[in-house]
Structure 1
């Protein structure tokens, strides 16, 4: 089955889509696609068939999102914790991933037509070697497309993602690219697997569970959280429509929370910069609260040098990641 499905909404769906699009629309939606195994049990089929039906629903949901003008979707496909499941189920899921990523590469003309950039988020080294190679080829093939974005979280947990970001920062300091004082929330954000994406506006979890299961904990701090009882393979356009409606009903409160957070973050950075300037003045034997012009000049120099270091570090980090993918993609070439 195709990842990018062609098709139109029904007349009623188109009408309701036009109504909801009159309000503020999310640009990025994240899904915890939960309920595949319960769907299989409910319908008396094998677990792997439940997961296969879950993939079919993902393809249909991507079609709905495209129809609604939602430019980015992130899905929780496979958690690091899922490796603890039975070996038969894990092997089956890896085989399903192998088939779907192979098919995704076969669809490269369709991906190019729709401008779909596919990113795989997670610790790729935990995956079988051949799947690592497939994933790398998918990312490299689509990396320049920018009409819409599909982020697939596989071998992923948020805590591991944050830990990895901290390790990347430590590497930057060890390499002399950063100073410890450069480390900040915005810089950690740029070291996450999801660094190229805006934070999700909505996080949807199906199946009735009301927990995040270690998914996008950093990125969803100001997202609209929507928990729906429907099993993922039974998800419908109307479930998506309802989630967007909930987002719109809470839009003002969400925006206010984000604005307050941004203001606090800017204030904290300003205070840190002032403390840095004061220390520099003391080191030079000058009065900490002396010449305002000298303080402003030092503050500007501090920010310019920090920005230069950060940009150099981020370029090196991007190059490091790209080299990793390119090396993987050529293993079986």
Structure 2
């Protein structure tokens, strides 16, 4: 006898299958509405809702993370195909790295490390000359994740056409604290005068140094906050909140976010 969770999953897959022709027509319509000349240069993503997606289906929470990882790779490929130059993914927060159970952290680290190793060998990554960088507090990473980060960064270090940032054990406040510490040490060593410290100096000491600020931040799950993500860099970012859990996101949802972005008038505080 099938479980309630199995029946729910079967029903969800059946609905998705039946709706596929309609989605394909709508997807083409959306893509035609998007101007290739007005795409955001940098898109950042908060992929929220993996655990709730799993619980809703009666599944173990780590299976939600697994489905979320599969979806992340798919979304990254969509963004590359659409011509986005820089993508930053909030894979795991500082809070996740310190407050989640050891078992859940281990599963997450394992998924992320495996994903980084796949990116290091991915034909699409190399064909598009994508530099992959892993940012966050490395002192919190286990050995397996450190080795995977080194592998993908070494494999893509010569590229500069596109960039994918994977933020692991990352927090916006912690990033600013780390930048201030670096600057303070330079002042102490006499390499920098206090009067020389301005916005550009701080920007150059962030994990994302030399990269443009995100033009668009996409968050799933219906939550409308940025949760300590790219606090300094997001001062003038456009925010798009999708009312779906991350494993459910479709290409049409990404296209809707891009269309919404292009319909806005960006003022940058003016």
The separation in 2 between residues aligned to 1:240 and 1:106, in whole angstroms, is 25
Structure 2 unaligned segments of length 5 or more: list them.
Answer: 1-22
Could you tell me which residue of structure 2 aligns to residue 313 of structure 1? none
Cα RMSD after superposing both structures = 1.8
* Alpha-carbon contact 1:20-1:245 (below 8 Å) kept: yes
CA contact (8 A) 1:73 1:149 kept: yes
| Higher mean C-alpha displacement, 21-30 vs 229-238 | 21-30
Shift of 1:51: 0.7
The residue that corresponds to 1:79 in the other structure is 93
User: Could you tell me which residue of structure 2 aligns to residue 89 of structure 1?
Assistant: 104
- Correspondent of 1:162 among 176, 193, 201: 176
The reply on whether 1:101 has 2:116 as its aligned counterpart is: yes
Is 1:232–2:226 an aligned residue pair? no
Alignment of 1:4-43 (within 5 A): 13-21=27-35, 24-43=38-57
| Alpha carbons 1:21, 1:68 under 8 Å: kept | no
Contact 1:34–1:231, Cα closer than 8 Å, also in 2: yes
Mapped to 1, the partners of 2:222 and 2:33 lie a distance apart of 27
Q: How many residues align?
A: 247
Q: In the TM superposition, what whole-angstrom CA distance separates every residue of 1:79-111 from its partner, at most 9, and x where no partner exists? A: 01012012211111112223222333343x543
Consecutive unaligned residues of structure 1, counting only runs of 5 or more, are: 1-8, 261-333
Q: Distance in 2 between matches of 1:31 and 1:198?
A: 15
Q: Which has the higher contact order (CA 8 A, sep 6+)?
A: 2
Partner of 1:318: none
Q: How much has 1:124 moved relative to structure 2?
A: 0.9
- Is the alpha carbon distance of 1:245 and 1:105 closer, same or farther for their aligned partners in structure 2, counting shifts above 3 Å? closer
> How far does the alpha carbon of each residue in 1:222-280 deviate from its partner, in whole angstroms, 9 at most, with x for none?
01111111100000112112211221221x2x2x225x4xxxxxxxxxxxxxxxxxxxx
Q: Give the Å deviation of 1:10.
A: 5.1
What TM-score does the superposition give when structure 1 sets the normalisation length? 0.70
**Where do 1:122-161 residues align within 5 Å?**
122-161=136-175
CA distance in 2, matches of 1:191, 1:103: 29
Cα pair 1:173 1:179 within 8 Å, conserved: yes
Q: Secondary structure at the match of 2:227?
A: coil
Post-superposition shift, 1:147? 2.1
Alpha carbons of 1:117 and 1:23: their partners in 2 closer, same or farther (altered >3 Å)? closer
Tell me, in whole angstroms, the C-alpha distance in 2 between the residues paired with 1:130 and 1:89.
15
SS in 2 for 1:152: strand
